[in-house]
Amino acid sequence: MTQLSEVHLFTDGGCSGNPGPGGWAFLLRHPVTGKQLEKSGGERETTNNRMELTAVIEGLAALKKSARVELFTDSVYVGKGMSEWMPKWKANGWRRKEGKRLVPVKNEELWQQLDTLLQQHEVRYTRVAGHSGHPENERVDELAVAAYQKYL
């Protein structure tokens, strides 16, 4: 069995207004070699949650082979979605309970993309407090803000 390489993925997404112009960013780091990759992008009209999800999807999609990934994000939505909510949503045909009925999951296509990527990698979620001076979180926040500013 081959040993999976370990990588750190730092992500952030945000909007100016919610919905509004949004940006996402990731920083991927191989802790052994120190090699890094940063990428960001934006959309004219989106939501914070869509941008948070997009950052994780883009970061995982940038990996060329399966890896053990430690995901650092300040998004409770992404973290809880991955670790707690997604298995129930999948079991219910990508629906969630609202009162006594099942309704479609918001951002379903993004959650499905993330689900596909999670099958390829071993992902561990670590919550980072936003705007707390965490250097990599500050960096991806800066990149995400710069990405949506072109739409303002």
Domains of the chain: 5-149 (3.30.420.10)
Residue 79 appears among annotated catalytic residues: no
Count CA within 13 A, CB hemisphere, residue 2.
Answer: 7
93 is catalytic: no
Residue 108 annotated among the catalytic residues of the structure: no
> Is there a catalytic annotation at residue 115?
no
Residue 124 CB-half CA count within 13 A: 8
pLDDT in tens, 64-85: 999 999 999 999 999 999 999 9
Told to judge if 13 belongs to the known catalytic residues of this protein, a careful annotator would answer yes
14, 22, 43, 52: the active-site residue: 52
Active-site position among 43, 58, 74, 136 = 74
**Can you tell me whether residue 151 is helix, strand or coil?**
coil
Active-site pick, 43, 58, 136, 141: 141
Rounded distance between C-alpha atoms, residue 38 and residue 61, angstroms: 13
131 is catalytic: yes
Q: At what angle do helices 48-61 and 108-120 cross, to 10 degrees?
A: 30
At 131, is the pLDDT very low, low, confident or very high (cuts 50, 70, 90)?
confident
14 φ, ψ to 5°? -170, 170
Question: What single-letter DSSP state applies at residue 85?
Answer: I
Residue 2 has a pLDDT of 64
Give yes or no for residue 45 having a pLDDT over 60.
yes
pTM of the full structure: 0.95
DSSP label at residue 132: S
